[in-house]
Amino acid sequence: MGSGRPCGSVTLGQRFRMVDVKDGWAEFLDPDVVRTKFITMGLFMIAHELLLSAIKDHPLSFFGDQWTAEKGWRQSEDYKREVLALDPKGKGDMLRGSLAWLKTNGAIDNADDATVYELTAARNMIAHELHKIIGGQQSLDLVRLFPRLTEIVTKIERWWIINVEIPTNPDWDGKEIDEDDITPSSVLLIQLLSQVALGSDESAWALYRKFVAQT
């Protein structure tokens, strides 16, 4: 028995899906939209690498017993025992072990730990589902994620300077330190990437001049 619908006609739902597909392709092919998305996501990928460096490199260098230009710090037995052994999955993973070590020593908390995994999931989505993000089928709120990434890197770097670098450097003996005045170059770089990615040109230039003056 016939459906009563004229041959070749489309349902309202089909019509909306056709509009969605058309709008998706229109956004995908819009040069300004594509350019902005590529720049923003590329800067986020760089910022995420700086985040991983802040998490993993400090414990490795602290416990490392040998460094080479080719391979960097070697994983010492102390590092394996004090850091890698803390991997909650028991697999000696550098990221999980380093996060656990930073939490144990008060550098970050459980909320920061969860955010790192959220940021890493966003990074992986960019790496593996870029076509869906560009085409609008997957959304990624980098406006929210960039500031969180910056906060965590700042927290780790400041903790490291206050609790490791300053106590082991006699040049700082007897000097008062205001933690809020400590802005490592890596943090400035993260802030600069964030401001560029989010389109704040004036703030980006101010951070650029501060970064150049520090390096």
Q: Check residue 14 and give its pLDDT.
A: 42
pLDDT at 200: 65
> What is the residue whose two structure tokens read 């964030």?
194
- Asked if the model's pLDDT at residue 21 lies above 50, the reply is no
DSSP label of 122 = H
More confident residue, 141 or 4: 141
Q: How many whole angstroms separate alpha carbon 60 and alpha carbon 102?
A: 12
φ, ψ of residue 72 to 5 degrees: the values are 75, -150
Q: Kindly report which listed range (25-29, 106-110, 199-203) carries the lowest average pLDDT score.
A: 25-29
Considering the chain, what is the average pLDDT of its residues?
81
Does position 56 have pLDDT exceeding 80, yes or no? yes
Residue percentage of the chain with pLDDT more than 90: 39
Q: Which residue has the higher pLDDT, 131 or 20?
A: 131
Neighbours of 204 (CB within 10 A): 18
Residue with tokens 């490291």: 160
Beta strands in 56-141, from DSSP E residues, in sequence order? 67-68, 72-73
Q: Model confidence over 79-120: pLDDT tens digits?
A: 999 999 999 999 999 999 999 999 999 999 999 999 999 999
Q: What is the mean pLDDT of residues 5-25?
A: 46
Question: Residues 116, 51: contact at Cβ < 8 Å?
Answer: yes
Cα dist from 97 to 9, 17, 92, whole Å: 59, 46, 7
Using CA atoms, how far residue 81 sits from 103, 148, 174, 184, 186, in Å, is: 16, 30, 34, 29, 28
